[in-house]
Amino acid sequence: MTRNYAILKNASSCKEETIPLLSMIAWRRFVIETCSEGDGRVVALFGGRTNDGKVRLFAIVGIDSRGELRLAATDVNGVSYSALTPDLAQAHLFEREINENFGIIPEGHPWLKPVRKPQGYKYYSVGGDPIHEVAVGPVHAGVIEPGHFRFQCHGEKVFNLEIHLGYQHKGMESMIASSRPVKRMILAESIAGDSVVSHGLAYCHAVEGLADREVTQRARAIRAIALELERVANHVGDLGAIANDVGYLPAASYFGKLRADFLNVTMSICGNRFGRSLLKPGGVMFDIPSDMAEDIKKRLVQSMKDVSDTADLLFGSPSVISRLERTGTVSFEIARELGLVGVAARACNLQRDVRCDYPSGMYRFVKMVIAKASTGDVFARARVRHLEIKRSYELIQQLLERLTPEKIHLQCEKLRESSFAVSMVEGWRGEVVHVVRTNETGEICQYKIIDPSFHNWSGLEMALRSGQISDFPLCNKSFNLSYAGYDL
């Protein structure tokens, strides 16, 4: 029997003509059956234009247990197709995005609300005299990005939370596709300001896959060190934010200071606390000499001792634990059905981590142990962060010991013509995906980005359902999702 999909490994590319072009019926069956009956999940689902102007839908389904990405495409004949969402809930946001971008109607989709264009949208409402509505944002009192949260409540109990974003849509995908190569790296680093290394590395891997370029082991190690430093800094900051939201100020203050310590380690490597200008297709721009490596190791030892002491304070306080446990719970079944990724998924006992499932770069040569919890509540999300901090620290120390004497950058040649590349990176929030298509001259003709927040905002909505509205700030901090990464 002929296989109706192409297989691609992470951070690699293939000729677009090798991706099977299926009938709509066969394409739907491939996506739904692979996800519902097999071990698959939707990694990316998006539309693009063909040379003759048709809308072509691409599905990338990940088989985590095999580290396998399965690809298939179909052309939309007309203005509609039969929606996947009624049979596969994790496709709901992808199909809404296709509708918004191309005007294609996924018939049978339960709720075609806008993704990034809120103008004129009528919000969901619950009727009845006892019901009241609370609207928060999009302008917030704190120094955060714009997002609108609308609660339907009976007293303190939340019946429904509807989150609407898109207030700072920048057109990042089209900008990267249309920019000169020298500017693309800058744009990739600017997708989400707290995920510079995550998105920057995803861009590098995509370009290297299209150029058939392998980087040196030393460059791979420095990249992984930067990615894990980004993870540790943000997880430490999140633990501080969670402590602050429950009013436990000693831990909030200490974690805030410690976050700066880890950011300063990144700055010592490349001159920027968030890792800007460190990465480049073909390798890295800054080295870690032996004396710097020794200094970083010593600094991290002290910082991790402080993290451990502060975490003991936080998790050793009964009043803190009672506030975190059973708050904002998302079940394993809901997490799997919605396709959650990253910390939010692993806190629900859903084992998903690109570093283990789809290893690329240095992660092909190290052993990662996934940090998980089972309760799916705020406590679980905080605990997973703490475990990941410790494991990332251990990995950084190993990598600093294993820096081989090699070049740190190699030239990245011309990209393959008419090709398709998929790059996945386990950012600190979760799975970052960049997909690149090139035309017949090797120029980028489409660039697609999926930030982990794209999957996980729906999880925050479910975490508040039947909970208390006063729990929202704490739940929101425990997810800590990106507005910019979603709005693009």
| CATH code assigned at 227 | 1.10.645.10
End-to-end CA distance of the chain: 41
pLDDT of residue 2: 63
Q: Cβ distance 255 to 309 under 8 Å?
A: no
Q: Per the structure, how many domains does the chain have?
A: 3
From CA 432, how far away is CA 354, in angstroms rounded? 9
Pairwise pLDDT comparison (50 vs 321), residue with the higher score:
321
Cα→Cα distances 52→220, 330, 440, Å: 40, 45, 14
My answer on whether 102 and 135 are in the same domain is: no
User: Roughly what angle, to the nearest 10 degrees, separates helices 452-464 and 472-479?
Assistant: 160
**Residue 126 forms part of a structural domain:** no
Contact yes or no for 341/287 (Cβ under 8 A): no
Lowest mean pLDDT among 133-142, 149-158, 441-450: 133-142
Q: Which two tokens stand for residue 130?
A: 């006892």
Examine the domain organization and report whether 146 and 280 are in the same domain.
no
Contact 164, 147 (CB under 8 A): yes
Summarize pLDDT for 97-129 with one digit per residue, the tens.
999 999 999 999 999 988 988 677 788 888 888
Give the integer Cα–Cα distance in Å for 421 and 429. 22
Q: How many Cα atoms sit within 13 Å of 240 on the Cβ side?
A: 18
Contact 44, 393 (CB under 8 A): no
Residue type present at position 38: G
Q: What is the pLDDT of residue 200?
A: 97
Same domain, 345 and 252: yes
Q: Are residues 146 and 215 in the same domain?
A: no
How do beta strands 68-75 and 21-22 pair?
Answer: parallel
Given a cut of 70, whether residue 1 has pLDDT beyond it is no
**3-state class (DSSP) for residue 277:** coil
Is 117 a member of any domain?
no
> 382 and 324 in contact (C-beta within 8 Å)?
yes
User: For residue 464, what are the contacts with CB-CB under 8 A and spacing of at least 6?
Assistant: 151, 158, 161, 328, 471, 472, 475
Asked if the structure places residue 124 within a domain, the reply is no
> Do 237 and 96 share a structural domain?
no
- The span from the CA of 159 to the CA of 127, in Å, is 11
Domain shared by 65 and 178, yes or no: no
| β 148-154/157-164 pair status | antiparallel
DSSP state for residue 38 in the 8-state scheme: S
Q: Which residues contact 322 (CB under 8 A, 6 or more apart)?
A: none
Residue 58 falls inside a structural domain: yes
Q: Can you give the pTM of this predicted structure?
A: 0.95
The answer to the question of residue 125 being in a domain is no
Q: 372-406 burial string, b = 16+ CB within 10 Å, else e?
A: bbebbbbbbbbbbbbbbbbbbbebbbebbeebeee
Same domain, 379 and 314: yes
pLDDT-derived band at 140, boundaries 50, 70, 90:
confident
Query: At CA 280, angle to CA 277 and CA 281, rounded to 5?
Result: 165
Same domain, 13 and 84: yes
Asked whether the bond before 181 is cis by omega within 30 degrees of 0, the reply is no
Alpha-carbon distance 361 to 41, whole Å? 23
Strand partners, 44: 60
Beta strand residue intervals within 170-246, DSSP E: none
Question: Residue 72 class from Cβ within 10 Å (0-12 exposed, 13-18 middle, 19+ buried)?
Answer: buried
Q: Above 70 in pLDDT, residue 181?
A: yes
216 & 159 share domain? no
How far, in Å, CA of 27 to CA of 37, rounded? 15
| CB-CB contact of 137 with 146 (8 Å) | yes
Lowest-pLDDT range of 9-23, 135-149, 196-210, 241-255: 135-149
DSSP 464: H
| 430, two tokens | 């979760």
Comparing CA positions, the residue from 97, 106, 115, 111 lying closest to residue 48 is: 97
477/422 same-domain check: yes
Segment 241-300, tens digit of pLDDT = 999 999 999 999 999 999 999 999 999 999 999 999 999 999 999 999 999 999 999 999
359 located within any domain: yes
Q: What is the pLDDT of residue 169?
A: 85
Residue 279 resides in a domain: yes
CB atoms within 10 A of CB 9: 16
Q: Is the distance from CB of 232 to CB of 262 less than 8 angstroms?
A: yes
Residue 121 domain-assigned? no
357-396 pLDDT tens trace:
999 999 999 988 899 999 999 999 999 999 999 999 999 9
Q: Which residues are CB-neighbours of 99 under 8 A, at least 6 positions away?
A: 105, 106, 109, 112
pLDDT of residue 124: 83
Contact 212, 414 (CB under 8 A): no
Which residues, 6 or more positions from 71, have their beta carbon under 8 angstroms from its beta carbon? Answer: 5, 6, 7, 8, 14, 19, 20, 58, 59, 60, 61, 420, 422
Together in a domain, 28 and 85? yes
DSSP label of 468: B
Q: Residue 256 is part of which domain span?
A: 172-487
Q: Are 140 and 208 part of one and the same domain?
A: no
Query: How large a percentage of the chain has pLDDT more than 70?
Result: 99
Q: At what angle do helices 472-479 and 378-401 cross, to 10 degrees?
A: 20
